Structure 1
Amino acid sequence: MRHSSVASRVSTSALRTVRSDGTPVYRYDQRAGRPPMSVFRFDLASHGSDLPPSHRHAHDFLVLVHVEEGEGEFHVDGVARELRAGGVQAVSQGEVIGPAAPAHIARCRAWSLAFLPDAVPALASVSPLMRAHHPLLALFAPGAGQAVVPETERDRWTRWLTDLDDELAHPERLGAGEAAAGLLTSVLVAAARLAPAVPSVPDPLVARVFEEIEATFREPVSAADVARALGYTPGHLTTLVRRSTGRPLLEWITERRMTEVRRLLRETDLPLALVAARTGLRDASYLVRRFRSRYGTTPEAWRRSQRSA
Structure 2
Amino acid sequence: MTQAVRVVAQRDGVPIYAYPSDPMTPPVSVLRFGPGGLPEKGRHIHDFPILVYLSATRSVLVVAAGQTIDPIWAIEQTDCVAVFFDPAALNDGARSPWPTWRNHPLLFPFRHGHTGGVLQLVVPSHRKRFWDNTIESMEAELVDRGEGHREAVLAHLTLLLIDLARMADDVVGDLRRSGEPLIADVFAVIERRIAEPLSLSDVARELGLTPGHLTTVVRRRTGRTVQEWITERRMADARALLSTTDLPIAEVARRVGIADPGYFARLFRTTHGASPRSWRA
Separation in 2 of the partners of 1:43 and 1:30?
28
1:118–1:124 contact (8 Å) kept in structure 2:
yes
Separation in 2 of the partners of 1:32 and 1:131?
19
Does residue 37 of structure 1 match 2:28? yes
Does residue 193 of structure 1 match 2:166? yes
| Deviation (angstroms), 1:150 | 0.5
Per-residue deviation, residues 171-191 of structure 1 (Å, max 9, x unmatched):
2x1221111111111111111
Residues 165 and 28 of structure 1: is their aligned pair in 2 closer, same or farther, counting only changes over 3 Å? same
| Deviation (angstroms), 1:162 | 0.6
Does residue 147 of structure 1 match 2:121? yes
Compute the TM-score of the two structures, normalised by the length of structure 2: 0.53
Separation in 2 of the partners of 1:131 and 1:30?
14
| Deviation (angstroms), 1:36 | 2.2
SS in 2 for 1:12: coil
1:35–1:177 contact (8 Å) kept in structure 2:
yes
* Structure with the larger strand share: 1
Residues 13 and 123 of structure 1: is their aligned pair in 2 closer, same or farther, counting only changes over 3 Å? closer
Does residue 183 of structure 1 match 2:156? yes
Of 18, 22, 44 in structure 1, the residue corresponding to residue 10 of structure 2 is 18
Larger RCO, structures 1/2 (Cα 8 Å, 6+ apart): 1
- Match of 2:157, as an amino acid? L
Per-residue deviation, residues 185-205 of structure 1 (Å, max 9, x unmatched):
1111111111146767569xx
Separation in 1 of the partners of 2:128 and 2:92?
25
Per-residue deviation, residues 100-152 of structure 1 (Å, max 9, x unmatched):
38xx8423212100011122246847773254443211321234633210111
Per-residue deviation, residues 52-89 of structure 1 (Å, max 9, x unmatched):
4xx110112211111112xxxxxxxxxxxxxxx11111
Of 56, 59, 62 in structure 1, the residue corresponding to residue 49 of structure 2 is 62
Compute the TM-score of the two structures, normalised by the length of structure 1: 0.49
* Corresponding residue for residue 116 of structure 1: 86
| Deviation (angstroms), 1:18 | 1.0
* Corresponding residue for residue 105 of structure 2: 135
Separation in 1 of the partners of 2:103 and 2:120?
16
SS in 2 for 1:113: strand
* Corresponding residue for residue 246 of structure 1: none
Instruction: Tell me the number of residue pairs that the alignment of Structure 1 and Structure 2 aligns.
Output: 173
* Corresponding residue for residue 163 of structure 1: 137
SS in 2 for 1:16: strand
Separation in 2 of the partners of 1:127 and 1:60?
10
- Match of 1:129, as an amino acid? P
Separation in 1 of the partners of 2:132 and 2:87?
22
1:138–1:195 contact (8 Å) kept in structure 2:
no
- Match of 1:189, as an amino acid? I
- Match of 1:24, as an amino acid? P
Residues 123 and 31 of structure 1: is their aligned pair in 2 closer, same or farther, counting only changes over 3 Å? closer
Task: Mark the runs of 5 or more structure 2 residues left unpaired by the alignment.
Answer: 180-281
- Match of 1:25, as an amino acid? I
- Match of 2:120, as an amino acid? Q
**% same residue:** 30
Of 70, 73, 88 in structure 2, the residue corresponding to residue 98 of structure 1 is 70
Farther-moved stretch of structure 1 (127-136 vs 104-113): 127-136
* Structure with the larger helix share: 2
| Deviation (angstroms), 1:158 | 0.9
Separation in 1 of the partners of 2:86 and 2:55?
24
Separation in 2 of the partners of 1:185 and 1:95?
23
Tell me the C-alpha RMSD between the 2 structures: 3.0
| Deviation (angstroms), 1:31 | 5.7
SS in 1 for 2:98: coil
